[in-house]
Structure formats: C-alpha cells, structure tokens
Structure 1
Amino acid sequence: MRKIKWGILSTANIALTQVIPAIQRSAKAEVEAIASSNGKAEVAAAKLNIPRAYETYEELLQDPNIDAVYIPLPNSLHRKWVLEAARHGKHVLCEKPAALNAEEMIEMDRYCKEQNVLFMEAFMYQFHPQHERVKEIIASGEIG
C-alpha cells in the first residue's frame, strides 16, 4: 500500500511538536514537505528530517508529490488555504476551528466535495478509543 504524502502549511508549534511526529510514526503516511511564510521552513525541515521546504504555501500546494495537507494556520486563514488546497487537488486536515462561521464551513465543505478531496477538522478526541468506548456504552443502553 502506498503511503499518504503530507505537506504541512506552517511551522506552528502544534505541527512541529505533535502532528509531524505523529505522521512520522505512522506506517501509512510520511511528511513530504513543509512551508512557512516566515522563513522557518528550512530549519524545521532539517530538524525533523522533512525532504522539502518551501518559502510559500502556494509552492507546496503545487508539489505533485503531496497527497494531503495539514493546515495549522491562524483561524482567519483557514478558509483561504482550505479552498486553495482543494483547488490543487489536495486532501485537507484543518486545525480547529476550521471555520469562523457556518457559511464558511458550508462553502469549504461544498468546494472540497466538488473537487473530490476529503476535508476534515482536526478533532483528536473524535477517534480516541475512550470516545469510541463511550459511544458503545450509550448504544448498548447501559447508560444514557
């Protein structure tokens, strides 16, 4: 099975300390590139053994080797870069909150579907084993 190749749009702390190391531990994915608008991508790439660093987010999105992107940018930039990533055919994992309002979320969801790319907000607990267990207990009627 081919690994999913990730691009990271930002050198945000959560990307550097949590998400990139998690992807690198996965047998099904690898971080292929990182981009930063503040000149920190090269340092981050060297430190975290990421093959490519880009000076702009647009350059990373144009990389044909990237399958999906993680977007940990400031909330006000999520809409712009989710739409740009989808326009380039990249699947998107966007840090929470993905949108500033319902209209933005509807627009991003609709556009990603039109572009045939997956779009997901990064809520860790959604797939956490403890959360899954709570859903099982509720479904069984034991509580709730």
Structure 2
Amino acid sequence: MPEHPTSPEDALRAIQTARVAAADAFSRHSWRYDLVYALLAASMVASEALPNGISLLGIGICVLCLGWLARAWAGQHGMWIRPLTPKKARWVAIGIAACIALLMLVSVAATRNGHADFALMLAPAGFVIALAGSRLWRHVHRREMTPVP
C-alpha cells in the first residue's frame, strides 16, 4: 500500500488498517489494567464507609491513582482512547460510572445511618461491576473499531 494513498479506496483501506492496529494494541495486556481499575473502583466504594474527612482523602487518592493508571497505559501503548468516543461503548462507560456512583451513594447513606459494615460489603460489588463493565466496554469498543467482513 502506498505511503500517501492516491485513491479513495487506498485511503479507506489505510484508515481501516490503522483502526484494526489500534484496537489490537489497545487490547494487549488489558487484564492488568482492568483488575487495577476494578480495585480502585472498589476502593472508592469502600472509602465511603470511613469517617467524613478520611473518606474524602481515600476517594481523592483513588482518583489520582486512576489518573496515573490512564497515563501509564497511554505511555505504554503510545495512545489513549477516551472511553466516551465510540457511540455504543460510550453507554457502557456511562453505565459503569452510574453503577459505581450509586454504590458510593448507598455506602454513604449506610455509613451515616450507622451501618458502615454494610457499606464495606458493597466494595466487592463495585469490583465486580467495574471489572465486568471494563471487559464489556473493551469488547464493544473493539467491535466498533474493527470492520465487519
């Protein structure tokens, strides 16, 4: 294939080849990312069971770690794909965020009503939701990026 496509067909082929290569590169070693991501999401849910000031500190640390995880992933793979970019994958990302936010709110309510132990039991649910959601997002994203034969 020429380096500078001369026909529209060559240009489209070059775009499709680049999209497939990007999707392949993005999927390598994805379990490590997904497990750390899920652990951080669960930690955010569990942080809500802590007293007020400490819970904010815990959530802040988790958010900073999520940012570090994204930067490390982008540095390792030479690119960062925004979770809201593809249309169908966008809704998966929004669903994950809504579920984790809901768990955090339930955890806050439980802690404020004296049931911090129940709030801590929500952390494994946050882990499972984040891990399953991340894997689903990756699957949907890959399907959107690769051409249908």
Q: Which has the higher strand share?
A: 1
RCO higher in structure (CA 8 A, sep ≥6): 2
Q: Give the TM-score range, shorter chain.
A: under 0.3
| TM-score, length of structure 1 as denominator length | 0.24
User: Which protein shows a greater Rg?
Assistant: 2
Q: Which has the higher helix share?
A: 2
